[in-house]
Structure 1
Amino acid sequence: MADAEKSLSASAAAGASYLILLQLLSRALTFALNQILLRFLSPELLGISAQLELYSISVLYFSRESIRVAVQRQAQGVQTVVNLSYLAILAGVPLSYFLGWLYLRADVPRVPFFVESLVIYGVACVIELLSEPAFVAAQQKLLYKIRASAETAATISRCLITCGTAIWASKSGRDVSVLPFAMGQISYAVVLLLVYTLHVQSSIRTESFSLLPSKLQSKPTEQQPYLSLLSRPLTQLSISLTLQSSLKYILTQADALLITALASLADQGAYALASNYGGLVARMVFQPIEESSRNLFAKLCTQVTEPEQSIANVAKSDKPNESTKKENPNIRQASRILTTILHLYLIVSLLALSLGPHIAPLLLRLIAGSRWTTTSAPSVLATYTYYIPLLALNGVIEAFVSAVATNADLYAQGLFMGFFSVAFAGAAYLFVRVWELGGSGLVWANCVNMALRIVWGSWFIGKWFRTNGEGFDFLATLPNAMSAAAAVAAEAALRSPVGPAASEGFVGQLLRAGAIAAGLGVSILFFERNFFIQSYSMLRPKR
């Protein structure tokens, strides 16, 4: 059993490694793309591109998010999840039209090719959704290499098309506005569809399934599929997750919605730049770990999460259920892995909180140039470093919740998230309108929202493990006291610029900050050496 647990952990670690490498390459290419485009675009055009990206994210999220979570939650055959993925396509077509229609009825920016770009983004969304059957098949078979190759090729295509179109327009004297972004987006969708489909078909030809909808064979004791195509349990779970994912989306994208409604296009561009750079680490590292860990927690814990054993039903008692008093090695392994990830995230939080507010504005000036230092982007980016640790912690906590929660638990979470949305709106009004903090105020409001979600998720985790006969030690997730002391010392050193380097201007400040950051990194590696050794031993594949 121990070898099986270790093998599962190693597989999850390998999957996370592939996704992290994918995100590193993807974000590196996107980062290079942004640096080139910043030479050709104004803050206003960058703000409009952020609005188009929000439209695309909205269509894709509402169409496929609940289905992606559902197929990870339950062990089903490949054909079952392929059939279910077509619901995302059926939902995406009218949704792309409806959201685009709503957008055009609002205050449309008066720039060339905006309507054409919006239409292209809508078509790109539908094309990208057509790759869902191949995506869920690859996920079900843990074929992370296919996902890495597909998304890498699509990202390279988007970068080349976007940059090529922008540079051609600049040299030829044509005003194409945001059209390069639209052309890059549709090239991304087309390449993604082609690579996914070709690789999945060639990699699993021996499997008895099709990427087209096919009738499901069910046992007499099982529930009959809807229309002989859709698994009833998966379909019902997807519907239950829809409300929860909708609330989560509103909370996640509320900052973009508010900045679009309250700020000028120039301010939107500055905020988009700061939030993109600020979330770079979260998207490159934390998001792949979140996706992989959700898959792992679902495999370890799904067998013990019965509908009648929801946290909502046992909230009045801290005693384990009679049926779960016997020790379960899978639950113990899930507790160990979750503790390890949270410990690692809190170590990263020390680095972010102590170094980020001081180093981020310097890096922004180095990367984006002095043109952006006169905007609100540096202060927003400095504030965003306080948000990153909360974003990371909430990501893995909600990954666990989504992997084990029953329908009753998801309903309870939805009620709490409704309350959190009210709290976020109130905090945003206070920070932005009353205290006039602008983009930084939106970041602080997001911190309030994320902190509330972490509190609820932590309560859920503690209650779930107690219910299933395995305690969860939150104190074990905390970093070493010496690591925390080193972080405080580094922050104090950055806050009090003294010595010869302080008088050498920007270069001196950058070198001094880099030296302090390196010293803190070495100190944390030393103080946390036992934790890193144990983590490597736990995740190392068995040979």
Structure 2
Amino acid sequence: MSTKPNSQDPENLISKSAKGATFLFIGSIFTKLITFILNQILITFISPKIFGINSFLEFLINTVLFFSREGIRLSSQRINDSITHDEDEDVEYTEKDKYNHNKISHGSKIATLQSIINLSFIPIMIGFPMSLFIIYWQYNKISEFFSHMELFNLSLLVIWFTILVELLVEPFYNLNQFNLNYDKRTRFESLAITINCFVNFGIVFWFKDSPVDGIPILAFSIGKLSHSLVLLISYYMDFRSYKSITPTASKLSLSITKIHNNENYYIFDKEAINHFIKIFFQLCFKHLLTEGDKLVINQFCTIEEQGIYSLISNYGSLLARLIFAPVEESLRNFLTRLLLTNKSSKNLNLSIDILRKIILFYIYLSIIIIIFGPLNSGYLIQKIIGNNWSNHVSEIIPLYTLYLPLLAFNGILESVHQSTASGSEVVNYTWFMCYFSGVFVFTSWLGIYKFELSLLGLIGSNMINMILRIWYCNEFIQHFYKKNMVSRKILKFDLNLQKILSFGGVIWGLDLLLFGITRNLKELIGNVLLAGILVGFIIYKEQKLIFGMLKRKPLTE
């Protein structure tokens, strides 16, 4: 008897996912620190108008890349090889059986990885014509200020080339994602972002006194291109270590992956393609909702307002990109691999335990954000960006901080939905996304035009959008576990949570009574002390959970 180790083992998946989240978190801190420092210096050289143009170009890149690759990135993680799951069982082999089994298993693993490579060429086939269409369409719609700016046409050409290079990275990126190689991804992306920042900053700084208009825009474009080239080179050099897998799409025999001797061949995994078709339109609506604020602001707001909103979202969502994004991605990949083929009671309960801990962490983090964010964010943003930018930034950022908890919970719940939804459930969510899009457009019109709230109205509309998506995903998750005969609730308002919420209310009242809206360093220090007291109380009340995760004995029983 022998039991073969399996990469699908829950403990192995948890370990890899946890390490992956850690790697992504550390990489985010490193890259965001460099980005933050260089951007702080860049702000002194560029105006809100230039910042708005760069935001527009980044929007073009993100739009093409999202529609081209996001569906394939999600679908490729659902490619499943039945051979690898059979290896979990205790099977008695003869020497000949062992040889044949290992040979077939090795061939199946190669076929699985090659299927991912093949599937990853679809973003290239979609992205090339889409990039031409979107750039041509937007170029004809942009204002005269854009089209007559020196170097703008060259910058747009560099942006288009950047998109093509970025799409070439997809086969290697998806291969590493499937193998949960987060450490490699973190190294490659950290290097690419660092070079991007230094190239962008170096060009702006070197030509800061140049009379040529559009240098900062060209610098942004070349920085993005350098980022894509570094990723492509890094991933390709790593790919050379893979044996028996070609970097181009090639046919695969069903006799390898299904262990029956016929001569049927395929290029793309059928189940992954079917999932991609069903999820693609949902992603279209998701992008409309996620990037809807940029669509609205590009259409109805001035270039200066676009720059201001871009700055707010960049600084305001820093926490989301540092913490929320790595957790969401790791959870999505973990649940997909855990529950794709085995929805056993053990795996389902394990997924609930992990999801419950993440949501509890988000609740405590949200308490801190809600109490201290609106009161302190205006003062902090003024100290960070200086007086070169509009005072409206400090007025808008407090509301944006209240938007962050909704962004966090929506992200984590949608990750669960994307990991567990069947084809018909994906289609259902697509229809709801269509409805949410209509609500978003209507509430944006009310906030911006009817009530003349400008960017405040846009943020308020985003908050309503997030609440609706949170509600839908929560209902889906409850139904999913109930359908699979698991009656446990994801979250219980136990005594500890109630005490922490009550203590948070007391801290909030003290903060308002003693300091109110922060206006100076002394009041900021006072807020930091109150936040420290609240964090200490949370750690004390949840020490059993914390020390249990760390596998250490709590301070008190």
Above 0.5 in TM-score? Answer: yes
Q: 1:527 to 1:284 in 2, by over 3 A?
A: same
Letter in 2 for 1:126: L
Give distance in 1, aligned partners of 2:287 and 2:548. 36
1:112 to 136, 150, 159: 150
Give distance in 2, aligned partners of 1:223 and 1:188. 46
- Partner of 2:46, secondary structure, is coil
Q: Which residue of structure 1 lines up, in the alignment, with residue 542 of structure 2?
A: 528
Give distance in 1, aligned partners of 2:262 and 2:443. 48
The answer to whether the 8 A contact 2:250-2:267 is kept is yes
Give distance in 2, aligned partners of 1:477 and 1:56. 43
Give distance in 2, aligned partners of 1:198 and 1:477. 50
Q: Which residue of structure 2 lines up, in the alignment, with residue 399 of structure 1?
A: 415
Q: Which residue of structure 2 lines up, in the alignment, with residue 432 of structure 1?
A: 448
Letter in 1 for 2:542: E
- Partner of 1:448, secondary structure, is helix
Q: Which residue of structure 2 lines up, in the alignment, with residue 168 of structure 1?
A: 206
Q: Which residue of structure 2 lines up, in the alignment, with residue 214 of structure 1?
A: 250
1:186 to 193, 215, 225: 225
Q: Which residue of structure 2 lines up, in the alignment, with residue 237 of structure 1?
A: 275
Q: 1:461 to 1:245 in 2, by over 3 A?
A: same
2:334 to 293, 296, 311: 296
For structure 1, the 5+ residue unaligned runs are: 306-326, 539-543
Q: 1:72 to 1:436 in 2, by over 3 A?
A: same
The answer to whether the 8 A contact 1:51-1:260 is kept is yes
Letter in 2 for 1:181: F
Q: Which residue of structure 2 lines up, in the alignment, with residue 389 of structure 1?
A: 405
Letter in 1 for 2:447: F
Give the aligned length: 509
Task: State the 1:432 CA deviation.
Answer: 1.6
1:455 to 456, 471, 487: 471
Letter in 1 for 2:217: V
The answer to whether the 8 A contact 1:391-1:450 is kept is yes
Matched, 1:96 2:149: no
Q: 1:519 to 1:196 in 2, by over 3 A?
A: same
Give distance in 1, aligned partners of 2:259 and 2:239. 32
Q: Structure 1 stretch 69-78 or stretch 83-92: which is displaced more?
A: 69-78
The answer to whether the 8 A contact 1:428-1:441 is kept is yes
- Partner of 2:271, secondary structure, is helix
Q: Which residue of structure 1 lines up, in the alignment, with residue 161 of structure 2?
A: 123
- Partner of 1:75, secondary structure, is coil
Give distance in 2, aligned partners of 1:248 and 1:353. 26
Give distance in 2, aligned partners of 1:426 and 1:476. 35
The answer to whether the 8 A contact 2:356-2:491 is kept is no
- Partner of 2:550, secondary structure, is helix
- Partner of 2:250, secondary structure, is coil
Q: Which residue of structure 2 lines up, in the alignment, with residue 271 of structure 1?
A: 309
For structure 2, the 5+ residue unaligned runs are: 82-111, 553-557
Letter in 2 for 1:367: I
- Partner of 2:492, secondary structure, is helix
Matched, 1:369 2:397: no
2:319 to 270, 273, 281: 281
Q: 1:198 to 1:389 in 2, by over 3 A?
A: same
The answer to whether the 8 A contact 1:247-1:418 is kept is yes
Give distance in 2, aligned partners of 1:224 and 1:56. 44
Cα deviation 1:328-376 (Å, max 9, x = unaligned)? 211111111111111111111111111111111121112111333x432
1:5 to 2, 7, 10: 10
Q: 1:230 to 1:277 in 2, by over 3 A?
A: same
Matched, 1:509 2:523: yes
Q: Structure 1 stretch 396-405 or stretch 167-176: which is displaced more?
A: 167-176
Matched, 1:43 2:48: yes
Q: Which has the larger radius of gyration?
A: 2
Q: Which residue of structure 2 lines up, in the alignment, with residue 319 of structure 1?
A: none
Cα deviation 1:116-161 (Å, max 9, x = unaligned)? 2122111101101101111111112221121111101110110110
Q: Which residue of structure 1 lines up, in the alignment, with residue 364 of structure 2?
A: 347
Give distance in 1, aligned partners of 2:265 and 2:447. 51
- Partner of 1:73, secondary structure, is coil
Task: State the 1:73 CA deviation.
Answer: 2.4
Give distance in 2, aligned partners of 1:225 and 1:35. 61
Task: State the 1:225 CA deviation.
Answer: 11
Give distance in 1, aligned partners of 2:117 and 2:329. 19
- Partner of 1:303, secondary structure, is coil
Q: 1:442 to 1:215 in 2, by over 3 A?
A: same
Task: State the 1:13 CA deviation.
Answer: 0.5
- Partner of 2:207, secondary structure, is helix
Task: State the 1:53 CA deviation.
Answer: 0.6
Q: CA RMSD in A?
A: 2.3
Q: Which residue of structure 1 lines up, in the alignment, with residue 373 of structure 2?
A: 356
Letter in 2 for 1:484: L
- Partner of 1:27, secondary structure, is helix
The answer to whether the 8 A contact 1:113-1:177 is kept is no
Q: 1:228 to 1:60 in 2, by over 3 A?
A: same
Q: Which residue of structure 2 lines up, in the alignment, with residue 157 of structure 1?
A: 195
Task: State the 1:394 CA deviation.
Answer: 0.9
Cα deviation 1:383-437 (Å, max 9, x = unaligned)? 1111111111111111111111111000100111111111111211222212222
Task: State the 1:177 CA deviation.
Answer: 4.1
Give distance in 1, aligned partners of 2:393 and 2:514. 23
Task: State the 1:486 CA deviation.
Answer: 2.7
- Runs (4+) of structure 1 exceeding 4 A deviation are 220-227
Task: State the 1:513 CA deviation.
Answer: 2.2
